[in-house]
Chains A and B, each alone.
Chain A
Amino acid sequence: MLRTKQKRTEQAADLRLQSQIGEEERFGDLMRRMARENKTAVISFFVIILMVLAAALAPLLTPYEENGMDLLHRLSAPSTEHLLGTDEGGRDVLTRLLFGARVSLLIGVVPALLSLILGAVLGAIAGYRGGIADAVIMRIADVMLAFPSMLLAMVIMYALGGGILNVFLTLTLVNWANVARVVRAQTLKLRSSEFVEAAQIIGVSRNRIMRRHILPNCLPTLLVLFTLNIPASILTESSLSFLGLGIQPPNASWGLMINTGRQYLYNTPWLCFAPGAAIMLTMLAFNFLGNGLLDVLDPRMQKQ
């Protein structure tokens, strides 16, 4: 007995000496590691913070009002007075860009998040429970996906009427089906994995298996879907606004700005260019941040 005990301490010492185990990692280390290994992700993170701050502090950052018309200075080129020029109503483009960020960022993030949660839960239930639940959920999803998403959004918006809350609802309803399909496929794969079988043998309940084993392992996919859904939502909203179904003028959103600026594209390209660049920057920032988070959150990618 004493001998086995002694042997075991020796063994433990051995393991410590040469095993592949690195040092334990805390949350701070995790962020520091991301900073070290994936600089784009960190930059993206700060870009997003900056945009959120700029949107929140918009009134303090600009001397102009969101809808301050100045018909004498219509469509003026960028100058020291109007850094990004003015639009067809003589409104300062930079100011509208800042105010538009409030709407557009919300429209990007909120529906993406809502559709993600809805899609993930429904997809996981469909995949893990199977049977009737699966059939019902997936047929509804199929119907949603069978319609062109723009048409579907138009129909829903038309039925509900304009306003930002209805835009959230519409975009969520349009996007969840895609998420649900992907999560279901992933769940089916995970359901037959050995570690789920192991949990079943231990006696873990089905709900807990879904929470503890299946959803966390879908996380990488979900993050990717999230970052892809944000720009998609912003763009869909802009089309809706263009059709008069989304955000109503004179309020600003990036999509709306592109669409109104489109008519003057030839002579005053900055009207489209500025909000276009803002959308692109947002999209890239969320994408890079998503990728960085993926690497950091996967325990397998941690240093050995």
Chain B
Amino acid sequence: MSEYLLEARELTKEFPAAGKKTVHAVSGVSLQIRKGETLGLVGESGCGKSTLGRLLIRTLQPTSGEVLFRGQSVTRMKDSEFKPLRKEMQLVFQDPYASLDPRMTVRDLVAEPIETWKLYGSREEVTERVRELLRAVGVPEEFLHRYPHQFSGGQRQRIGIARAIAANPSFIVCDEPVSALDVSVQNQILNLLKELKETRDLTYLFISHDLSVVRYLADRVCVMFLGKICEIGPTEEVYEHPRHPYTRFLLDAVPVPDPAARGKQIHLLKGEAPSPADPPSGCRFRTRCPYATERCAEEEPALQEEDGVRAACHCAGKW
């Protein structure tokens, strides 16, 4: 019996790209998620975080490596074997406008997972359950027969969340669930996600480019750069003492809502991110890293553990 709810072993996903190139979206990622914890996944666009999220819930199949759910290899299962596990792993989308069918009412949208899994028999029971779910996510029940376009972004995201939790999953991937929302509404949704996690015994993978959002929700955080994990460990430890230079740059680049912080000279990352179709040799971050040495070009750093944090850098914490 595994102590982890979900485990990724050497996951790799490559996509074919123009000109016979391959995009290395995710390269050899291994990570574990314990039951009941929230793992934050941060990184910039194109670092493979969304791909990784979809690999974990098997909406994408990896090129190599495997995903274990409750100790069973999900990757090697046949579709029919996997089917009962489908409802255990759900996803909350970034864009609440695109992820809800515009021609379905709120009732039908939220009822869809319940009907798919035949959790309740009669139509009345299903509707009653939909009402319960809407109450749980804070959408007034009397809007049952409205269409998505009649709601604001925050309300739509609540509906998306109701759909995700409708079949009582145990693991939810939240793919940038608040980045399309206004600041004040964003906090409402974050509060809701936190509350649901406690009341419904959920485990989250929380993907975001916003470091403060991840800091708020995540127990542990994983920083990705160009398809690889740079650093993974308990959130406070990583934020306070980043061991990988890239984590430091990410943290420094976030604009602070305090004009007094302006004078403080921040470390700025120079240049452009390398292309995932043509990653540099050795450490993938070395072309932008001010501390890079010859060794970084030749030898790829492995994840090394120190005080519960694993970082992939030859001079972790010593730069």
Contacts and interface: CB of A to CB of B under 8 A. Distances in A.
A203 B95 contact: no
Contact of B152 (A20, A193, A213): A20
A8 interface: yes
B285 interface: no
Contact of B98 (A20, A193, A302): A193
A299 interface: yes
Query: Which of B83, B103, B147, B152 is most buried by chain A, counting CB atoms within 10 A of its CB?
Result: B103
Given A11-B138, A195-B99, A299-B103, A4 B57 contact: no
A217 interface: yes
Contacts of B102: 195, 217, 299-300
A194 B93 contact: yes
B288 interface: no
Contact of B150 (A201, A216, A304): A304
A200 interface: yes
Contacts, number: 91
Contacts of A201: 57, 59, 86, 89-91
A70 interface: no
A284 interface: no
B52 interface: no
B226 interface: no
A22 B112 contact: no
Nearest to B104: A212
Interface in A175-220: 193-195, 197-205, 208, 212-213, 216-217, 219
A16 interface: yes
A301 to B, nearest CB: 9
B145 interface: yes
A196 to B, nearest CB: 8
Chain B: interface size category: 35 or more
A148 B116 CA distance: 46
A195 B98 contact: yes
Contacts of A299: 102-103, 147, 149
Given A15-B140, A194-B95, A21 B150 contact: yes
Interface string B126-167: 000000000100111011011101111001000010010011
A73 to B, nearest CB: 57
B117 interface: yes
A24 interface: yes
Given A202-B90, A202-B113, A20 B151 contact: yes
Contact of A15 (B103, B149, B155, B163): B155
A19 interface: yes
A8 B59 contact: no
A204 B139 CA distance: 24
Contacts of B151: 19-21
A15 B135 CA distance: 13
14 contacts: A11-B138, A16-B140, A16-B142, A19-B155, A194-B93, A195-B101, A195-B102, A197-B59, A199-B101, A202-B163, A212-B104, A217-B103, A300-B149, A302-B150
Interface of B: 57, 59, 83, 86-87, 89-91, 93, 95, 98-104, 112-113, 116-117, 135, 138-140, 142-143, 145-147, 149-152, 155, 160, 163, 166-167, 195
Given A195-B98, A203-B113, A216-B103, 9 more contacts: A12-B140, A21-B143, A24-B145, A193-B98, A194-B93, A204-B116, A217-B101, A217-B102, A302-B147
